[in-house]
C-alpha cells in the first residue's frame, strides 16, 4: 500500500485526486458502452471516442495513447492509464472489464468513492484539480437522498426513511409505495438492472436484498451454467454466490449455493448475516430497485450499522441511531454500574479503497460529523492498519464492527457472545 502523504508528511496535492477521477470515469463509461447489449454501433463508437478524448485530456500531451490501445487497456490494469507521476493508490491491479465481459463492480465502487472525495473537497472549498462542475455533477445520488430525508427536520422521519432504504432496496412496486420515504426518493427506484435479469426473473441478495448479478458461462464440459452473485464483492465472498441450470424447464431456475458455508467462531457470528435460506426468484415486471449509488452508499454500509445497533441494544446498551439527523451513525453509551457513563461517537464506513477513504479523512481533518470512532465492516478488517495511521493524526480510532462491539460490551460489563 502506498503512502497517503508526501515525504514531509503532508497530504499529496488534491489535483491528483481529480486526475484519478477523470481517468477512472472515462474508462468506466467506455467499458459500459463497450459491454452494453443492443447499443447501436455508431453510438458505441461515438461514446468510446469521447471517452478516449477525456482520457487524453487527463494524461496530457506528453502521454499519448492510441484509440486501439485505449480499448485494449480496458481489460488490463486500470492504473496503466494514469499519466506518469500520479500515484495510483488502489487503482493498481483493477481491470475495468472483467473476464466475463462485464463492467467490474470494484471499478464502479472506486469511481463513486473518488467522486465522493472530490464532492467533499468542493464543499470544503478546496481545489479539485482539473475536474469540472459538470464532471462532478450537481449532487451524487446518495447526497440527494440524504438531503431529502433531512429536509423534514424530524429525527423519527429520518430514521424511518433511512432504515427503509437499507432494509428494502428492491421489491414489488406496490410494496415500495408503502415505504416511509419522500416521493422524490421513491422515484429513485428504477427497473431491475438488465444484468440482474434472466428470462424475466431476478434474485435478491440474501445479505443486502438488492438484485444479484446474473451471467452464463461454459463449464469444463462446454455446457452453459448460470451464476448469480451479489454485485458487492464482500457479500459474494460471504456466500451470496449461487449456480443455476439455464433452460431447465418452465418457470424460474432454482439456485444452488456455489460453495458450502464455513462455521464462524461465536464472537464473529453475531454480526454475520444468516445465509441459510437460498434466494427465490422474483419477476422483474412490476419490481424495482433503488439506484445503484444509493444502494452502494446507503444500503450496503447501513447493513452493519443496523446490525451493530440491534446487537448492542439486545445486550442492554443504550444506542442512538443517526443522532441529530445523521451527524454521525451511532452514539453508544458505555460504562458498568457505579461508573461514569462514556459516550462513543461512531461513523461506519464501507469503502472498497482504503486509500481513497484515507484521503477523505485528510480532507476533512478527521470525521466531518465529529465522530471519534471510524468502524469498518468485519470484511474490511485488512484496512484497519492503514486507516489507523491516517485517523490517528486527528484523534479518531479505527476498529472493525465486531472489535468495537466487543470493546463496548466489555466496558459496560456485559457479554458479547
In the chain (417 residues long), the average pLDDT of successive 10-residue segments reads 38 66 87 81 88 87 88 91 86 86 80 72 54 41 71 85 94 92 84 92 97 88 89 93 86 91 88 93 96 86 94 96 91 84 94 88 85 95 95 95 96 93
Secondary structure element (H or E) that encloses residue 225, with its range: strand 224-229
Helix, strand, coil percentages (3-state) for the chain, rounded to 5, are 45, 15, 40
In which order are the strands placed within the sheet that holds 330-334? 318-321, 330-334, 342-348, 373-376, 397-400
Q: Strands 241-244 and 224-229: what pairing?
A: antiparallel
Hey, where are the domains in the chain?
15-138, 153-290, 295-411
- pLDDT at site 88: 86
Can you tell me the distance from the alpha carbon of 315 to that of 289, in angstroms, rounded to the nearest whole number? 34
Query: Residue 178, Cβ neighbours under 10 Å: how many?
Result: 11
Q: Which three cell numbers stand for residue 59?
A: 494524461
- pLDDT at site 117: 73
In which order are the strands placed within the sheet that holds 213-218? 213-218, 224-229, 241-244, 256-257
Q: Strands 342-348 and 373-376: what pairing?
A: parallel
Q: Which of 322, 272, 347, 307 is nearest to 162 (CA)?
A: 322
- pLDDT at site 6: 43
Amino acid at each position: 500500500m502506498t503512502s497517503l502523504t508526501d515525504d514531509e508528511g503532508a497530504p499529496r496535492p488534491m489535483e491528483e485526486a481529480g486526475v484519478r477521477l477523470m481517468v477512472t470515469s472515462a474508462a468506466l463509461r467506455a467499458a459500459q458502452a463497450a459491454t452494453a447489449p443492443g447499443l447501436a454501433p455508431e453510438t458505441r463508437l461515438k461514446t468510446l471516442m469521447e471517452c478516449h478524448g477525456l482520457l487524453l485530456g487527463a494524461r496530457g500531451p506528453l502521454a499519448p495513447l492510441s484509440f486501439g490501445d485505449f480499448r485494449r487497456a480496458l481489460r488490463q490494469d486500470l492504473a496503466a492509464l494514469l499519466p506518469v507521476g500520479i500515484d495510483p493508490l488502489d487503482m493498481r491491479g483493477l481491470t475495468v472489464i472483467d473476464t466475463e465481459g462485464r463492467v467490474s463492480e470494484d471499478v464502479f465502487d472506486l469511481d463513486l468513492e473518488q467522486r465522493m472525495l472530490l464532492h467533499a473537497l468542493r464543499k470544503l472549498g478546496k481545489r479539485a484539480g482539473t475536474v469540472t462542475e459538470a464532471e462532478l455533477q450537481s449532487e451524487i445520488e446518495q447526497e440527494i437522498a440524504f438531503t431529502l430525508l433531512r429536509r423534514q427536520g424530524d429525527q423519527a422521519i429520518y430514521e424511518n426513511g433511512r432504515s427503509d432504504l437499507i432494509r428494502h432496496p428492491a421489491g414489488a412496486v406496490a410494496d415500495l409505495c408503502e415505504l416511509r420515504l419522500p416521493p422524490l426518493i421513491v422515484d429513485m427506484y428504477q427497473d431491475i438492472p438488465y444484468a440482474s435479469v434472466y428470462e424475466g426473473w431476478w434474485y435478491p441478495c440474501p445479505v443486502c436484498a438488492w438484485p444479484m448479478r446474473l451471467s452464463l458461462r461454459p463449464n469444463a464440459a462446454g455446457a452453459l451454467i448460470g451464476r448469480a452473485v451479489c454485485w458487492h464483492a464482500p457479500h459474494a465472498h460471504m456466500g451470496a454466490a449461487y449456480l443455476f441450470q439455464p433452460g431447465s424447464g418452465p418457470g424460474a431456475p432454482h439456485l444452488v449455493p456455489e460453495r458450502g458455508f464455513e462455521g464462524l467462531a461465536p464472537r464473529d457470528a453475531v454480526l454475520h448475516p444468516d445465509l441459510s435460506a437460498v434466494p427465490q426468484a422474483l419477476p422483474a415486471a412490476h419490481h424495482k430497485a433503488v439506484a445503484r449509488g444509493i444502494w452502494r452508499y446507503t444500503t450496503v454500509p447501513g447493513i452493519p450499522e443496523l446490525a451493530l445497533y440491534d446487537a448492542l441494544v439486545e445486550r442492554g446498551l443504550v444506542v442512538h441511531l443517526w443522532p441529530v439527523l445523521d451527524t454521525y451513525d451511532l452514539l453508544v453509551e458505555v460504562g458498568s454500574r457505579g461508573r461514569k457513563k462514556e459516550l462513543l461517537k461512531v461513523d461506519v464506513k464501507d469503502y472498497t479503497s482504503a486509500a481513497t477513504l484515507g484521503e477523505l479523512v485528510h480532507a476533512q481533518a478527521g470525521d466531518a460529523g465529529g465522530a471519534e470512532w471510524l468502524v469498518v465492516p468485519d470484511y474490511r478488517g485488512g484496512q484497519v492498519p492503514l486507516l489507523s495511521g491516517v485517523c490517528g493524526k486527528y484523534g479518531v480510532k479505527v476498529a472493525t464492527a465486531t472489535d468495537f462491539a466487543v470493546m463496548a460490551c466489555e466496558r459496560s460489563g456485559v457479554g458479547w457472545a
